[in-house]
Amino acid sequence: MDETQAPRRKTGVVWLLLLVALIALYWYFTRGAAEPEARRDGATDAELAADRAAPGADPDDILVDLRDDATDAQLAAIERDLGIDLTLVSAESYDERFYRAHVDPARQASLLAALSRRPEVEIAEADLTMSIPAVEVAAPPAPGARWEGYPDDPKYKFQWHLDQIHMPEAWKLAQGEGVVVAVLDTGVAYEAFEKYHQVEDLAGVEFVSPYDFVGNDRHANDDHGHGTHVAGTIAQATHNGKGVAGVAVGAKIMPLRVLGADGSGSVAGIADAIRYAADNGAKVINMSLGGPLPSRVLKKACEYAHKKGVTIVAAAGNESRTKVGYPAGYPGVIAVSATQLDEATTFYSNSGKDVDIAAPGGNTRVDQNGDGMPDGVLQNTIAIGDPTKSDYFPFMGTSMASPHVAGVAALVVGAGVTDPVEVERVLTESARRPNAQTYVRDRYGAGIVDAAAAVKLAKQRAGQATARAGDDAGAQGTTATHGVLAGVLGLLMAGAVASMRRRVMVGGGYLLGAVAGAVALVVLPANALVASALAPLALLSVGWGVRALRAPLAGVAAGVAAGLLLLAVARIDIAWVPGVFGFDPIWLGVNALVCVGLARAALRP
């Protein structure tokens, strides 16, 4: 054995250990920021068993999401070959080629398997039903002494929930002017149409691009009451001497009816509405709805909206479980748990690792402040199930907590922070710990949303010359921090590869190439061509015959390998790589290994 072989092997191991240690430190200090991208659909065995037994999966209907470039001829071939009739989910779903079929339950499994084998089919799955929980409503407040403070809405004295998130101070800083918030719910009482009417305290609020995905028309009116209540929390007319107040008083509401009068609706309609909202100018989506079962169609729709710059907020669920429901459990969706007046989380609120933040959801079974009103969230809405009548009703639920956060998100967007990753970061970093309560991460997430602190932080971030990295559409970390880290990783990888080839001293060109390769990779757009071994392979193919170039090009390959590992640890979404089954990190890891192999080959004597 060569007498120098063992020491050289030890040197290589040291280089690799340093590289791994630096990557591990980077993961440790950024795992909180990247957490929305790292969620898993896991649960305890007992909870999974409960999911399988839960109602929601529809044995009669299947959903088929074709590739966007699928042709009508391919659609006809599917119908002919499988003997099914595919119909558009709505008039808005042709562009995304999104269909449903009513099938014999006995054939559902075999049809789904057959559809999944066809290259033009992206997703085929059973339709699911999602819903709002049973609504507990207290009586409207009795006439009494008027509120004389700010704002001048006379029933504001019963809106403890807006004080809890520090709205009076926040309104002086921002009002969310012009920000479009899509409310995916039972509809909104926003217009006088047939038997429907606009509730009085939504007068003056601007409504844009309404659509009914249940009735498939342009009139997204509420025949339940839940959606109007949610919309009121987001943007109720405020300081108008009437009724109650809302959070983002300058925001516009996009009413999207996805749930029927019974409070339930199809995943197909919800997914379609998410894409519609993203394509029609919404910057925030609120979903005070959910279910225990995951849906790939719904997850894909959330990813689509998130990549288009939409902040998505959803209720964690009211089942007192230790796992949030869906869509709250998907990556990129802000999951909201519920608090009551004393800032404890409520008896009904779901909890778990996927809870991002808490907000007032209310508890109509108590009156902790002794004001004679149950401690629900008070807003103007129609009487439950009767769109001809309306009043001011206290509701409770994570359904009521979610729109508080959606409204604050609209304030943050209006203050200049628009990227959904950054919006979530502002919300969570500005959240506060509960008063006189034991903070538990799984119940509160980052803490209770604080509107005033969030707006202040948003204004500060919007005024900074350099924004933080992070964007599901592929922002690569263009900050100096990422560049420096990439360069250091490139040097470490260069040293490790050189030690493997027993050539520790290979010159400045090799090391400079490694730094350049690593830094370039994290600055360039993240797509499957850039984030791969393609560039090092092409460069080495051209420069292989020039011995003087082989060391620098070997360095580039080593540096790209380091950059690929950095992207994998940072959980960056790679465009053109399927986002399911963890393909992004697999793609990055395999290409990093190829780059290491190229570097080693180029360093041969």
458 lies in the same domain as 478: no
Structural domain span for residue 232: 175-463
Question: Best-predicted range by mean pLDDT among 411-425, 435-449, 455-469, 560-574?
Answer: 411-425
The answer to whether residues 234 and 246 touch, using CB atoms and an 8 Å cutoff, is yes
State residue 33's pLDDT score.
Answer: 36
Strand-by-strand arrangement of the 180-185 sheet: 211-212, 252-257, 180-185, 284-287, 311-315, 333-339, 357-360
Cα 230–chain centre separation: 19
CA angle 70, 73, 75 (to 5 degrees): 60
As a whole number, the mean pLDDT across the chain is 86
CA distance 525 to 508: 28
Are 314 and 336 in the same domain? Answer: yes
Q: Which CATH number does the domain housing residue 91 bear?
A: 3.30.70.80
Residue 479: what pLDDT? 46
Q: What is the pLDDT of residue 562?
A: 86
Q: What is the mean pLDDT of residues 456-483?
A: 58
Q: Tens digits of per-residue pLDDT, 162-206?
A: 999 999 999 999 999 999 999 999 999 999 999 999 999 999 999
590 located within any domain: yes
pLDDT number for residue 471 = 40
pLDDT digits (tens, 9 = 90+) for 253-309: 999 999 999 999 999 999 999 999 999 999 999 999 999 999 999 999 999 999 999
Higher local confidence (pLDDT), 372 or 481: 372
* Domain assignment of residue 446, yes or no: yes
Looking at the structure, tell me whether residues 232 and 264 fall in a common domain.
Answer: yes
Residue 301 inside a domain? The answer is: yes
- For 257, the token pair is 């009816």
For residue 497, what pLDDT is reported?
Answer: 82
Q: In terms of domains, do 181 and 108 share one?
A: no
Are both 581 and 499 inside the same structural domain? yes
Asked if 381 and 298 sit in the same domain, the reply is: yes
Element (H, E) at 220: none
- Token readout for 172 is 């002086």
> Is the same domain home to 307 and 389?
yes
Higher pLDDT, 8 or 165: 165
If you average pLDDT over residues 492-506, what whole number do you get? 71
494 vs 152: which has the higher pLDDT: 152
Token representation of residue 542: 């051209």
pLDDT of 32 > 50? The answer is no
> Rounded to an integer, what distance in angstroms lies between the CA atom of residue 430 and that of residue 320?
26
Same domain, 219 and 367: yes
Residues annotated as catalytic (active site), given as ranges: 185, 226, 399
What integer pLDDT is reported at residue 511 of this predicted model?
Answer: 86
Do 27 and 74 belong to one domain? no
pLDDT above 50 for 586: yes
Cβ neighbors of 283 (< 8 A, separation 6 or more) are 179, 180, 181, 309, 310, 311, 410, 413, 418
pLDDT tens digit sequence for 203-228 = 999 999 999 999 999 999 999 999 99
Lowest mean pLDDT segment, chosen from 149-153, 468-472, 509-513, 549-553: 468-472
What share of the chain has pLDDT > 70, as a percent? 83
Rg, the chain, Cα only: 27
Q: Which of 387-401, 404-418, 536-550, 581-595 has the lowest mean pLDDT?
A: 581-595
Query: Is the bond leading into 327 cis (omega within 30 degrees of zero)?
Result: yes
Domain C-terminal end among 128, 158, 188: 128
Residues 75 and 29 in one domain: no
Are 491 and 561 contained in the same domain? yes
Residue 48 has pLDDT above 70, yes or no: no
How many other C-beta atoms lie within 10 A of the C-beta of residue 371? 14
The pLDDT confidence band at residue 465, using thresholds 50, 70 and 90, is very low
Total-model pTM:
0.71
Domain presence at residue 148? no
Query: In this structure, is residue 507 part of a structural domain?
Result: yes
My answer on whether 180 and 89 are in the same domain is no
Q: How many folded domains does the chain comprise?
A: 3
- Which pLDDT belongs to residue 605? 72
Yes or no: say if 289 and 226 are a contact pair by the CB < 8 Å rule: no
**Mean pLDDT of the region 128-150:** 78
| Final residue before a domain boundary, out of 409, 440, 463 | 463
Domain assignment present for residue 245? The answer is yes
